[in-house]
């Protein structure tokens, strides 16, 4: 069933209907946690610092999202001539490709930030214990 409640609720529903020890997401989380627990405290602290940098880093995707429209604006006369000249529909394919790439890159960016937060929480819990 389709729901707007997100992945957390989807995992809850899966765990409710299945043994939590055999669930692939729980197994993966346990494996990651076990790896971090096997490291010495100093190495884990260094990894934590690096993860903070990764989580707070701007990254190329937000730059891409904001720079491309400005680039098109700078060359708007030439772009307009190429895309709309001679009555062709080149602008439709250009806009479609641009929107697909933009959507995929934004989704990828936020998924990466979510994974960074996931690892940070595990590391922080281990360091605080």
Question: 2: burial class by Cβ within 10 Å (0-12, 13-18, 19+)?
Answer: exposed
Q: Is residue 96 part of a domain?
A: yes
Residues 6+ apart with CB under 8 A from 20: 26
Q: Is residue 86 part of a domain?
A: yes
Rg (CA), the chain: 22
Question: Looking at residue 82, what is its pLDDT?
Answer: 77
Question: Looking at residue 2, what is its pLDDT?
Answer: 61
Q: What predicted TM-score, i.e. pTM, was given to this entire model?
A: 0.71
Question: Looking at residue 127, what is its pLDDT?
Answer: 94
The number of domains in the chain is 1
Q: Is residue 26 part of a domain?
A: no
Q: Which two tokens stand for residue 31?
A: 């494996």
Q: Is residue 44 part of a domain?
A: yes
Question: Looking at residue 3, what is its pLDDT?
Answer: 63
Tens digits of residue pLDDT in 18-40: 877 777 888 899 999 999 999 99
Question: Looking at residue 58, what is its pLDDT?
Answer: 62
Q: Mean pLDDT of residues grouped by 10 in the chain (129 residues)? A: 72 80 84 96 95 78 73 75 76 83 84 89 94
Question: Looking at residue 39, what is its pLDDT?
Answer: 95
Boundaries of domain holding 53: 39-128
Residue with tokens 């009555």: 87
């Amino acid at each position: 069933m389709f729901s707007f409640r997100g992945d957390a609720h989807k995992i809850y529903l899966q765990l409710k209907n299945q043994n939590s020890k055999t669930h692939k997401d729980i197994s993966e989380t346990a494996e990651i946690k076990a790896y971090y627990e096997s490291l010495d405290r100093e190495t884990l602290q260094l990894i934590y610092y690096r993860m903070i940098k990764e989580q707070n880093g701007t990254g190329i995707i937000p730059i891409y999202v904001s720079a491309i429209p400005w680039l098109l604006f700078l060359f708007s006369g030439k772009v307009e001539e190429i895309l709309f000249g001679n009555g062709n529909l080149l602008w439709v394919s250009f806009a479609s490709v641009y929107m697909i790439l933009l959507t995929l890159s934004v989704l990828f960016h936020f998924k990466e930030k979510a994974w960074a937060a996931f690892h940070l929480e595990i590391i922080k819990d281990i360091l605080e214990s």
